[in-house]
Amino acid sequence: MNYKNLGFIIKPHAKGLKEYLEKIIEILEKNDFNLLFPQGVKQLIPNYSTFPSEEIFEKADLIVVLGGDGTFLSAATRAAEKEIPILGINMGFLGFLTEFTKEEFINFIPLLKDNKVSIGERSLLKVKFNSKSFIALNDVVFSKEKIARMIFLKVLVNDVFFSNIRSDGLIISTPTGSTAYNLSAGGPIVTPVSNNLIITPICPHSLTLKPVIVSSGCKIKVEVIKGNDTFITIDGQKGVTINEGDIVEVFEDEKKLKVISNPKRDYFSILREKLKWG
């Protein structure tokens, strides 16, 4: 594939953004790339054309994210729906999803021009509730909408009873999302290419209730047993209130997110760096 048209999704208040944009614009234009920048950074590059995000996703051959993991998540599902690869440059704090440093991306530009890139695929979650449908790269989280009380959920896997769960919440995660909220809640790290889903209770009332890994082909159903103020959050980006008796279906989506890999890093080097392993 020829990555001629680069669409940018950018965290507008990232430290050092203006200087970095000026630097990469000069290099990318010298390498004959067409650049599509969002309207939110117009003040940083006043002499450069900007576009609505919808137009960027229509015209781009590749989405380049400048920001942290939150910015990456905001672009990921739209990129997947359009079947456009995505590349993340870390301008944030942790950066599990944004694999490239600013300097690494600059050094990567000749490889991108010559199409010498490696693309990995990441699983996505489909979350269905009544007539609503959402896509998630990391996770769907069930929690209390207001005060800190336990929620009461019934969980089935492939229509087989899994457990009734009294807890502060519940996370259903992809392998990509295993290093997000799932990890903070005591769930396992799962390599992104694994064909699994992770079910992780958050502070369960039963101390013997532990995270469970199931096949990515499983369909998970979560029913609210009690209460009318349970909230589901999709990738930390979108949310909706569900009530007693409501059932949410969670399963792997047919589409995959295509991610351009950093040739200077493998997954375990990212873990060592981000988690401060030896």
What is the tens place of the pLDDT at every residue in 4-15?
Answer: 999 999 998 888
Same domain, yes or no, for 201 and 115?
Answer: no
pLDDT tens digits for 163-219? Answer: 999 999 999 999 999 999 999 999 999 999 999 999 999 999 988 999 999 999 999
Same domain, yes or no, for 29 and 104?
Answer: yes
Total structural domains within the chain: 2
Same domain, yes or no, for 202 and 236?
Answer: yes
The pTM of this model reads 0.93
Q: Which domain holds residue 11?
A: 5-122+256-274
Same domain, yes or no, for 87 and 139?
Answer: no
pLDDT, mean over the chain = 94
Q: Catalytic: which of 32, 61, 69, 168?
A: 69
CATH number at residue 76: 3.40.50.10330
Same domain, yes or no, for 111 and 153?
Answer: no
Same domain, yes or no, for 37 and 144?
Answer: no
- Token pair 């704090």 in the structure block, residue: 93
pLDDT at 107 over 90: yes
Same domain, yes or no, for 132 and 151?
Answer: yes
d(CA 272, CA 202): 25
The contacts of residue 105 (CB under 8 Å, 6+ apart) are 24, 64, 87, 89
pLDDT tens digits for 21-49? Answer: 999 999 999 999 999 999 999 999 998 89
Same domain, yes or no, for 194 and 260?
Answer: no
Task: Please report which helix (H) or strand (E) contains residue 207, including its range.
Answer: none
Does residue 69 have an active-site annotation?
Answer: yes
CATH number at residue 165: 2.60.200.30
Same domain, yes or no, for 89 and 151?
Answer: no
pLDDT at 278 over 90: no
Same domain, yes or no, for 130 and 116?
Answer: no
